[in-house]
């Protein structure tokens, strides 16, 4: 009986070992069979999503403030421009600029027209600031240049500057999402609150977060409007104000020009004289100066010796005066 039990236990042990070996051998196959669909499906869906996203981005164009197109990335740039032009009638030109802004969908921010009393009479001057669609900034600036008689000379200055606010706008979007999530959590918490004090505390926090949400939304609207509408400032001056002063045929501008030319001629003459002196005269003057120096030194020494000998003779010729020791 005991041998039979031992034999049965041995048989069961061998069967368990064999079954374990078979299970371990077939495990990788079954694992691959289970895991293959799980990895194949996500890769296929990822490719489909990537293709759809690329198709969306391929069909999207973003227009910058200067009329250029950018693809694959959405940038938010605020463009501002300044111009200074000279025309015959600044008042008419200012009205033309206002009409351009309104026709393009923009509006006037400020306009100022004043006159300055000079010896030529009352000279008008205009200063206007308008906001125009960012995509129309370049065409409007081109039209303003066309209002002058000679754009090359009458467009006195022109400046266009851009500020990329994409990073700030992205940060505001993230902050807005966090604030709205906190607001929703506080609303849920206030609905579940039973204690009046808890309700008041949650309501206070909710009021704070809603205020922050309005601030963020206001800043985002400001950036959106600033990027959509570029600011254009134009200073319009009269051409007569840029003409030189002339009194009875006399122009100070001409006198100043003649004086500057005379000063330049005098400077050129002085420099030419120094060059001639250094190159032509110095090679002769240096040896001559050395000879003169030694001659003067020789004659001074000779004169000193004569003077000393004469003094010695006068001393010896005086009676009763013994010569001093050492003489």
In the chain, where the domains are located: 28-59, 69-166, 173-227, 251-306
CA distances from 305 to 65, 308, 312, 324 (A): 97, 5, 11, 20
The pTM assigned to this predicted structure is: 0.49
> By three-state DSSP, how is residue 67 classified?
coil
Q: Per-residue pLDDT for 178 more than 90?
A: yes
Query: What's the pLDDT tens digit per position in 140-149?
Result: 999 999 999 8
What are the contacts of 243-247 at 24+ separation with CB within 8 A? 243/120, 245/119
Confidence of residue 241 (pLDDT cuts 50, 70, 90): confident
Token match 């001057």: residue? 125
For 262-321, the pLDDT digits (tens) are 888 888 888 888 888 888 887 878 888 888 888 888 888 888 887 777 777 777 776 555
| Confidence grade of residue 7 (pLDDT, cut at 50, 70, 90) | very low
Domain 69-166 -> CATH class:
alpha beta
Contact 108, 100 (CB under 8 A): no
Task: Check pLDDT > 50 for residue 24.
Answer: no
Rounded Cα distance between 104 and 131, Å, is 10
| Confidence at residue 279, expressed as pLDDT on a 0 to 100 scale | 87
| 67-90 residues labelled b (16+ CB within 10 A) or e (exposed) | eeeeeeeeebbbbbbebbbbbeeb
Q: Say what the pLDDT of residue 94 is.
A: 92
Tens of pLDDT, residues 102-116: 999 999 999 999 887
């Amino acid at each position: 009986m005991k041998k039979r039990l031992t034999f049965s236990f041995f048989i069961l042990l061998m069967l368990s070992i064999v079954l374990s070996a078979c299970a371990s051998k077939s495990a990788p196959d079954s694992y691959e069979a289970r895991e293959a669909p799980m990895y194949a499906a996500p890769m296929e869906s990822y490719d489909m999503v990537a293709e759809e996203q690329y198709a969306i981005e391929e069909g999207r164009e973003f227009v910058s403030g200067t009329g250029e197109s950018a693809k694959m990335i959405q940038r938010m740039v605020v463009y501002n421009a300044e111009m200074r032009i000279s025309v015959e009638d600044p008042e008419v030109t200012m009205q033309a600029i206002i009409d351009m802004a309104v026709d393009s969908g923009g509006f006037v921010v400020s306009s100022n027209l004043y006159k300055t009393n000079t010896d030529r009479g009352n000279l008008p001057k205009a200063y206007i600031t308008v906001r125009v669609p960012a995509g129309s900034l370049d065409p409007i600036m081109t039209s303003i240049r066309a209002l002058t008689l000679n754009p090359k000379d009458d467009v006195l200055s022109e400046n266009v500057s851009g500020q990329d606010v994409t990073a700030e706008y992205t940060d505001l979007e993230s902050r807005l999402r966090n604030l709205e999530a906190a607001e929703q959590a506080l609303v849920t918490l206030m609905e579940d609150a039973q204690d009046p004090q808890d309700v008041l505390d949650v309501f206070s926090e909710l009021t704070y977060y809603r205020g922050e949400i309005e601030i963020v939304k206001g800043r985002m609207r400001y950036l959106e409007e600033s990027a959509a509408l570029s600011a254009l400032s134009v200073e319009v001056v009269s051409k007569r104000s840029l003409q030189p002063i002339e009194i009875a045929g006399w122009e100070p501008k001409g006198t100043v020009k003649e004086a500057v030319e005379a000063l330049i001629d005098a400077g050129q003459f002085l420099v030419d004289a120094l060059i001639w002196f250094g190159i032509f005269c110095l090679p002769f003057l240096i040896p001559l100066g050395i000879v003169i120096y030694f001659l003067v030194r020789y004659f001074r020494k000779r004169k000193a010796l004569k003077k000393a000998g004469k003094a010695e003779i006068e001393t010896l010729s005086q009676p009763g005066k013994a010569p001093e020791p050492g003489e």
